Amino acid sequence: MDALMILAQEGAGLTGNVGSGLAAIGYGLGAIGPGIGVGIVAGNAVQAMARQPEVAGMLRTNMFIGMALSEALALIGFVVFFLAG
């Protein structure tokens, strides 16, 4: 926890407060999961499209739905970052 506080202080610089630095770190951590999730969704969708190009339209739609679902977490993180900052 101490290391985190130091990171936050560094991130907040001279003028900011520790809370905003922590928020930035929190958002960075929160974005890891959705980043991996979106990557998996897009990668598998591309693989599926390569295997069956004839259903590419349907796959693309479903890909965006899946991406939207997993991205929602990152978006919540983004909002929390602003709220905490």
Partner 1 sequence: MDYSSLLILAVEEGEASSAELLLPAWPELVAGIIAFAIVYFFVWRWVWPNMSKTMEARQAAIAGEVTAAEKAKEEAESLVSDYKARLADAKTEGNSIVEEARQTAEQMRTDIIAKAEADAEQIRAKAREDAAGEKARALADAKSQVGSISVDLAEKIVGESLDAQAHQDLINRYLSDLEKL
Partner 2 sequence: MDVILAFSCNPQEQPLCIPDSILELFELPVLFGSVNRTMVYIILAALVVVAALYFAYRKPRVVPTKFGLAVESMVDFVRNDIALGVIGPGGEKYGPYLLSLFMFILVGNFFGLTPFINFPIGSRMAIPGFLALVTYVIFVFVGFKKQGLAYLGETLWPPGVPVALRPLIGVIELVSIFIVRPFSLAVRLFANLVAGHTMLALLLGSGVYFVWTAANGDISFLKGFVVGPLWFVFGMAIFLLEILVLTLQAYIFTLLSAVYIESSLNPAH
Q: How far is the CB of 37 from partner 1 (least distance, A)?
A: 23
> What does the DSSP assignment read for 4-34?
HHHHHHHHHTTTS-HHHHHHHHHHHHHTHHH
Residue from 56, 79, 83, 84 touching partner 2 (CB under 8 A): that is 79
Residue 69's binding partner out of partner 2, partner 1, none, with CB under 5 to 8 Å set by partner kind? partner 2
Q: How far is the CB of 1 from partner 2 (least distance, A)?
A: 27
At residue 52, the 3 state secondary structure works out as coil
Stated as kind and residue range, the H or E segment containing 53 is none
Q: Which amino acid is at 65?
A: I
Does 55 engage in binding with partner 2 (CB under 8 A)? no
Does 83 engage in binding with partner 1 (CB under 8 A)? yes
